[in-house]
Amino acid sequence: MAFDLQQLQAFTTIVKAGSLGRAAVELNVTQPALSRMIRRLEDDVGAPLFERHSKGMQMTDIGEALLPHATLLRRESEVAREEIDAMRGLARGTVRVGAVASIACGVLAQAIERVLHRWPQLHVEVVEGVWDRLAEALVTHEIDLALAVDLPDTPEIIAVKDCRWVDCSHVVAAASHPLRRRKRLQLADVMDAQWATPPRGTAPFEHMARVFAANGLGLPEVQVETRSITVLKSLVARSGFLSWMAEPMYEAEKKAKVIDASLIAGAQGERTLTAFRRRTGILPGPAAKLLEELRMLAADSDSSSQRPA
């Protein structure tokens, strides 16, 4: 069965928009024209893709089965167009990348600056989130590269072995936090403080748990869990909470003398970060250009770490 890309776009847009009317506005077509496209697609499939009711349109089981394939076919069509445009010398191309917060604040920003300096015609779309969000986006072709903490390969996702670097995370507190007035502060001394952290099960939280365990401690009671870095930094800077953050995440606040690492022996931990891609398929040209810059940054970081002090 040969699918019509315009019909697939109509289908995926309706799913995303949640209604025929909103999808028609997004696609800049009339509702009757959009309905005809969907009916033709349903005729080709041989079954209804939506159940129509007064509150909108809900996918059928057949629609649910078609959706990931329709998304992939559309994405591959876009990649093919971008590759052909690049070969013809046209100034087009989109880099789609996802990153955990610490990388988005540091290495990724540097790589984007460098790739746009060399290739100013490129457009960059960034998704920030924890690993489960990035892995889903990578598998569904929402992004082409994911930057996160080094993890084992999966049947669908593999790490880029020559694109790795290291950062360090710390217990952080406001510059004015009362604990800073105590001498010889130990990790056990912060157990009763107010804590705000990323949610349990996320890579930063598990990293923190390992550091506490290495010091013979359980975890402190966490009063606030959030995926929002803005909220975390606000709670630390304004409300006296402690948190666990990688250095790039609070670099600006450190320079402004608002947030800094607490001076506690053993209250820091290194972790290895890497780039991930889908196991199968060709990496789109724009994403490959960003990966090239990331590789060079990783190599520069590795060389710096090996220089004698």
Name the residue ranges covered by the structural domains of the chain: 5-70, 85-165+273-306, 167-271
Whether the Cβ atoms of residue 17 and residue 23 lie closer than 8 Å to each other: yes
Neighbours of 129 (CB within 10 A): 19
The pLDDT tens digits along the chain (309 residues) read 678 888 888 899 888 888 888 888 888 889 889 999 999 999 989 999 998 777 667 889 999 999 988 888 887 777 677 666 655 554 457 899 999 888 888 889 999 999 999 888 888 999 998 888 999 999 988 999 999 989 899 999 999 989 998 889 999 999 999 988 888 888 998 999 999 999 988 888 999 999 999 999 999 999 999 988 899 999 999 999 999 999 888 988 999 999 999 878 778 889 899 999 999 888 888 898 899 999 999 887 765 544 444
Q: Which CATH class is domain 85-165+273-306?
A: alpha beta
Superfamily assignment of 167-271 in CATH? Periplasmic binding protein-like II (3.40.190.10)
Domains 5-70 and 167-271 share a fold: no
Report the CATH fold assignment for 5-70.
Arc Repressor Mutant, subunit A (1.10.10)
